[in-house]
Every structure is written in structure tokens, then in C-alpha cells.
Amino acid sequence: MPIKYVGRTTDFKGKTLWEIVGNLKNFGVGRIVVRSTFERYPEPSYLKICKVEALANEDPRKVRVWAEKVFRGRKYPKIVEVCSASYKPDYRLIPKDEEEAYCKRESLGALEKINILPQTIPFPPLLREFILADRHAKGEDVTKEPEMEMVYNDSRDGLSRKAREGEEPNVKFEPGIGTPKSPELYANVQRG
């Protein structure tokens, strides 16, 4: 009779963080731990353990770990606390003799490009027409294109920021439909 699995499947491969640090001398301080889900990136992503603390009267699989975090080749400026994801069986300990080689991969594919986002973008066409008609009715200048001020959430990893005054953004947001998957649907559309 074939085996039939019931329930949710998972992509996790490895052990919980508590299983790893609980079996190491000094709770693994100074050792490098990797999450298997982050190994899909070409750049290295790992945690270098700085401090470990057991949690009293909580889930026995959880542990609070403070670590230096490197994600996709970029080191976070501050030490991060890992607690809420420590119960997931997704961690793997890097052997001591492989730690140096694993960390050196960092310089090969580090993300150094910072996205500079524009301060303003053009309004959508219909809204632009309403704004121009409103300005025309009030007798204001209608030669200047109306633009919308952009508001961005801060990037946690620091890979993007808003353009400063006089700075040229390297990311463009163009109005329009882009490249459609079915261009034949738009073959007879009048643009203007």
C-alpha cells in the first residue's frame, strides 16, 4: 500500500536553532549558522552567533540568539536578535574548517548597487487631464506637467533610497502598460 502524506508540506531542511546551539561548547558563540531557505541566493547569507539565551516557560524549541547577520552578501550594521524564527527546522551549522571559505564568498557577489528612486513621477493620464482642466478653469499655468511626490518606506537592508535634490535617479517608473504578454490585444489601440 502506498504512503499517503496528509497535511502541509514544508521546504525546511535542517534542525532548529536550539538543537544546534544546545549541543555546542559555549552554545556556539562565534560559530556560523545558515538558514537553508536563504541558500537559494548566489551570495552568502549566514548568522555569526554572538550570544545565546534560553527562554523560560515558552516553547522548548525556541531560543533567543543575538548574531551578526549577513544577507545576500551584505552585513547588517547592527547585531540582530533571532527568536521568532528559531523554532523552524531550517538551520545548518557550517563546519569550522569550511567557515572561512563560506564567508569569503561574500566578496564575489556582494550587492553594491544602490537603487536611487525618483522624487516625483507623472500622474496617471486620466488624473493628469483632470488636474490640467482644473488648473485651466482656475486660470493657472497649464504648461508645466503635474507630478506626484513619491513617499517610500525605508529599506531595511539599505539597498534603495530617495534621490536627493539635483541627483539623477537610476530607477525609472514609466507610465503605461509596459510590455503586454499578448500584444495582439493592443494592436489596434490608438495612442495619443
63, β-bridge pairs:
54
Low-confidence ranges of the chain (pLDDT < 50): 108-111
Structural contact between residues 36 and 14, judged by C-beta atoms closer than 8 angstroms: yes
The 3 state secondary structure assigned to the chain is CCCCCCCCCCCCCCECHHHHHCCCHHHHCCCEEEEHHHHHCCCCCEEEEEEEEECCCCCCCCEEEEEEEEECCEECCCCEEECCCCCCCCEEECCHHHHHHHHHHHHCCCCCCCEEECCEEECCHHHHHHHHHHHHHHCCCCCCCCEEECCCCCCCCCCEEECCCCCCCCCCCCCCCCCCCCHHHHCCCCCC
pLDDT per position as a tens digit, 77-92: 889 998 888 888 899 9
What pLDDT was estimated at residue 108?
Answer: 44
Q: What is the dihedral of CA 93, 97, 103, 104, to 10 degrees?
A: -160
What pLDDT was estimated at residue 142?
Answer: 81
For the chain, give the mean pLDDT: 84
Give the pTM: 0.59
Give the Cβ contact number of residue 25 at 10 Å.
8
